[in-house]
Amino acid sequence: MEWYNFKRQKLQTSIHEVVENALIKELNDGHQLKICIGCDSQVKGKIIDFATVVLILREKKGGFMYFKIQRKMQTMSIKERMITEVGIAVNTAFELCPVLDKYPVALEVHADINSDPSFKSNVALKEAMGYILGMGYTFKAKPDAFASSYCADRLVH
């Protein structure tokens, strides 16, 4: 899967190397950092596009992100799609752990799932929360899951 920066330029090295270099630079510049990883999807007939983001936030100083887009040719229930989004985000966090564990950065996994039971996505809330927390990550759902519900959302809509 190809990763891109915010300017939609393809990364020339691995996401691991890019994130590590960014962490080194930002920490050396004295920034307190947090990494937020999220995924959102958009159904277009029998095609589902999934956008995954790795968001690097500087405390009170903005941030930047890297992303990838995957396309699946299948139909899914809303619950299955929400859990697939969470699975992609968790897998991304897991893949980046060897890099992230070297540096003093907080990590959150954001789920594009509404905590309000009146929304359809809520059907997957308990499973998503259990999955993310069970993997040892900090869990955020809407309205606090901005990496998925805002950043990734803009890439697939």
- Determine the average pLDDT of the residues in 58-62: 92
DSSP secondary structure, 60-102, as one string:
TS-EEEEEEEEEEES---HHHHHHHHHHHHHHHHHHHHHHHTT
4-156 — its CATH code? 3.30.420
Q: Where are the domains of the chain?
A: 4-156
Tokens of 12: 């020339």
Q: Could you tell me the pTM of the whole model?
A: 0.94
- DSSP annotation of 10: B
Give the pLDDT confidence of 67-124 residue by residue, as tens digits. Answer: 999 999 988 999 999 999 999 999 999 999 999 999 999 999 999 999 999 999 999 9
> What integer best gives the mean pLDDT of the chain?
95
